[in-house]
Homo-oligomer: A and B are copies of this chain.
């Protein structure tokens, strides 16, 4: 893919988060990776969205090195994105927001339970919440350490089956096979967090969905015998 096209796609993803009210002010960022060329494109840090242009997107290699074409420094969250790209091979794009309900839930430091089929239709299990970072992890190499606790949380989880995480006391990150997919995951996660908070208000002891129901809903969409979409697999 042409770098120019990738910049446009990343730019569009960043704007989509604002349009869907998942990002206010400059509270978010989207990146994408061109794995063939080892290139990552990400929103530049601290620039007002109204001033941002597609060509302003920052470009680095997979280790955060400037590849010589940048007008602006990349997002301060770059190292979080890179850590995810290096460890989750299927991920092509990442989105980070401070959307209201997902962030409020991230403050609790707990996973979002699977309360219903809306959740099961999109994520194959609870939305994991990382542990809080230690003082040492915060003092130096902070952003990369956030990436590390995310990756650590997925040691026994397939990140393509649960393409989202809450960083404790911080907020949500989502990813996917395209910018479009990860923006959609951000939207769904926010809606699930809003539903979960209201579920607890209706009943503080609301039950989780049975495991067999989680499997049924996830697999009828994404399993080998999926039948949810028009083009049936096999």
Residues of A near any B CB (own CB < 8 A): 24-25, 27, 44-47, 72-73, 76, 98, 100-101, 103-110, 115-118, 132-133, 135, 138-139, 142, 169-171, 184, 187-188, 191, 194-203, 206-207, 209-210, 212-213, 216, 220, 227-230
Contact = CB atoms under 8 A, between A and B. Distances in A.
A207 B100 contact: no
25 contacts: A25-B184, A27-B118, A45-B229, A46-B229, A46-B230, A76-B227, A98-B118, A103-B116, A103-B195, A104-B202, A105-B202, A107-B199, A108-B206, A109-B206, A110-B203, A116-B169, A116-B171, A117-B170, A118-B171, A138-B216, A142-B220, A169-B210, A196-B202, A200-B202, A201-B201
A87 to B, nearest CB: 22
A44 B230 contact: yes
A20 to B, nearest CB: 9
Contacts of A216: 138-139, 142
B138 A118 contact: no
A228 B135 CA distance: 20
Contacts of A207: 107-109, 169
Contacts of A197: 198, 201-202
A229 B220 CA distance: 45
**Across the A-B interface, the 7 shortest Cβ-Cβ residue pairs:** A104-B198, A108-B203, A46-B229, A107-B115, A107-B199, A135-B212, A104-B199
